[in-house]
Amino acid sequence: MKFSNFIYKFFFEGNFFPILTIVTVIGIFWYLIALPMNAEKVERKFKDLNTTEKIIKSWNLEKPKLPTPHQIVKEIVNTVFYKKITSKRSLVYHGWITLEATLAGFFLGTALGILLALGIVHNKAMDLSVMPWVIASQTVPILAIAPMIIVVMNSVGITGLLPKAIISMYLSFFPVVVGMVKGLRSPDQMQIDQMKTWSASSNQLLWKLRFPSSVPYLFASLKVGIAASLVGAIVGELPSGAIAGLGARMLAGTYYGQTIMIWSALFTAAFLAASLVITINIVQNFTLKKMAIIT
Amino acid sequence: MNIYIFSFFGIWFIGWFLNSILSKKNNSNFIRFFVPTIFGIVFLLMWEFLVLGLSINPVLLPAPTAIGSKFIVEIPTLWIDFTQTLIKGALSGYILGCGAAFLTAVFINKFDFLKRGLLPLGNFVSALPIVGMAPIFVMWFGFDWESKCAVVVMMVFFPMLVNTVQGLSIIDKSRQDLMTTYGASYFQTLLKLRLPSALPFIFNGLKICSTLALIGAIVAEFFGSPIKGMGFRISSEVGRFALDMVWAEIFVAALAGCLFYGFIALMEKQFTFWHPSQQK
């Protein structure tokens, strides 16, 4: 495909303009709604200014009720690029602490989930006894256990990464089990019969048929799992008293009324979530192409 | 080896043995119900015997019987927390958020431009940790249930929107043409064709959102709440190491989650009985 062709398609046939329009509308709306929300504070602090100056002030308050996008971006740029990454004020430092726990939990949860799914597919007793509970667990707000895990593990001397990783683990575990069981069962009877006519062992059946056909399902679950892992890691940072991590930044921001700090932590978390999901998407496209599942 | 540890392994093997025999039998409804029930009971008994046998400190892990008796004793408190968090916070937010998302979806479905802009954004936002909005909403709307309701609205809005829009866009062209030959107006087509055929997607959205709503309402209370509510109780009782109370709250949350989900699934069965996924 020619490059100019690509550019044309990107701008005029894809969703570029619709998305751009909506994002712009949201941005304008944001600045407008910041005026009444911050008006009270501006009135109190800057009584004598004229209207134009008041508007500008309300978009640049130090502790606004609703910070404007440029303030948040400025804070993020400040705390990402102009602080040493080992500093407690650096968002990279806090982001990394959260990301570390997320990834550790995510990999553990995925591995355990795949193992359990294999067990469920191969053993009927396990399928009948465990699967209904796994499905039921999807309807339960299991995130509520998070504070307990943190505090109990702290009290036996386990602190830092591991408790948060465990929360992330069990949050990403259940979607992976459900997805993988579905995936491993996705080959139809005809394909299984075909394998049997080749006198494939059950190991071969697993590695050459069941596992490859479960890969698309696995990736779909991974995307759900990693988003859940991140939420788990953030919530896991709340009960230990706001020491480090994005969740701690949010909590500290709540204590001290530092709204810009909360919003910048929130945006960073959103950025992390988006990059993680996009990374999985790229790996997915690459893998599925190599496996010739998609072209 | 003390008697509890012995019982622990005993009950494990009995359960295992029973289930492996039962699961070799024909697939009847009876088996499908009985096997997981045995698993659940065995799991609880093993938990009980493990706690007793190793004399685990109840601060770390209380026994199921301790949790059960706490649950019965504390029913009044649990009921107050339940109404505060799940009825006032989660349910109000769920109805508002899903309702708003549904109306928005019906509206933007008419405009292709809006749909192409909002759908990718909605998908994107659905993957974000919206729970993080909780501290902001607590600042804006105060400690009481209004802020929890707002968090829940934010959490359920986009998943619901995306599902409804998807449901409304997948439409059989020949059915659409049939409606046109009947001279049906836009609203008639919407009511009699589009909405009914979108129902499976709408119910899927409602199901996803039911869990999200509970999570949102509970987690939002970790950022500040009046002195009642499930999230408040969980975080404060954890601080006092009263884990039996925490487990009792979690039990309430689990029960409420299952019932809520079950109710929606029941509704789905009632309204989408014609859909292939509902037929045996």
Query: How close B3 gets to chain A, by Cα (Å)?
Result: 26
- The HSE-up count of residue A54 (CA atoms within 13 Å, CB side) is 17
Residues A196 and A122 both lie in one domain: yes
Residues A59 and A96 both lie in one domain: no
Q: How far apart are CA A295 and CA A288, in angstroms?
A: 8
Q: Looking at beta carbons, which residues of chain B come within 8 Å of A238? A: 222-223, 235
| CB-CB neighbours of A52 under 10 Å | 8
Q: How far apart are CA A145 and CA A164, in angstroms?
A: 12
Once rounded to an integer, what is the mean pLDDT over residues A203-219? 88
Please tell me the predicted confidence (pLDDT) of residue A163. 86
Q: Between A and B, how many residue pairs show a Cβ–Cβ distance under 8 A?
A: 168
Residue A52 lies in a domain: yes
B280 has pLDDT over 60: no
Residues A53 and A101 both lie in one domain: no
Nearest CA in chain B to A270: B128
* Structure tokens belonging to residue B187: 């609203």
Burial of B273 (0-12, 13-18, 19+ CB in 10 A): exposed
Residue A77 lies in a domain: no
Residue A75 lies in a domain: no
Final residue belonging to a domain, choices A17, A49, A64: A64
* Structure tokens belonging to residue A195: 């394998």
Q: pLDDT digits over A12-65, tens only?
A: 667 778 888 888 888 898 888 888 888 777 777 777 777 777 788 778 777 788
Radius of gyration of chain A (CA): 25
Residues A196 and A274 both lie in one domain: yes
Residue A82 lies in a domain: no
Residue A277 lies in a domain: yes
Residue A78 lies in a domain: no
What ipTM did this prediction achieve?
0.81
Please tell me the predicted confidence (pLDDT) of residue A197. 92
Of B22, B31, B138, the CB nearest to A254: B138
Is the separation of the CB atoms in A146 and A89 below 8 Å? no
Final residue belonging to a domain, choices A14, A49, A64: A64
Q: pLDDT digits over B129-153, tens only?
A: 888 888 888 888 888 888 899 999 9
Residue A9 lies in a domain: yes
Q: pLDDT digits over A115-150, tens only?
A: 999 998 888 888 888 888 888 887 888 888 888 888
Nearest CA in chain A to B41: A129
Window 63-82 of A: residues touching B by CB (8 A cutoff) are 65
Nearest CA in chain A to B125: A270
Residues A45 and A171 both lie in one domain: no
Q: How far apart are the first and last CA of chain B?
A: 51
Q: Looking at beta carbons, which residues of chain A come within 8 Å of B239? A: 151, 239
Range of the domain at A12: 3-64
Domain count, chain A: 2
Residue A201 lies in a domain: yes
- SS3 of B3, please? helix
Q: How far apart are CA B172 and CA A155, in angstroms?
A: 59
Asked if the Cβ–Cβ distance from A269 to B241 is below 8 Å, we say no
Q: Looking at beta carbons, which residues of chain A come within 8 Å of B31? A: 128
pTM, two decimal places = 0.85
Is the separation of the CB atoms in A214 and A187 below 8 Å? no
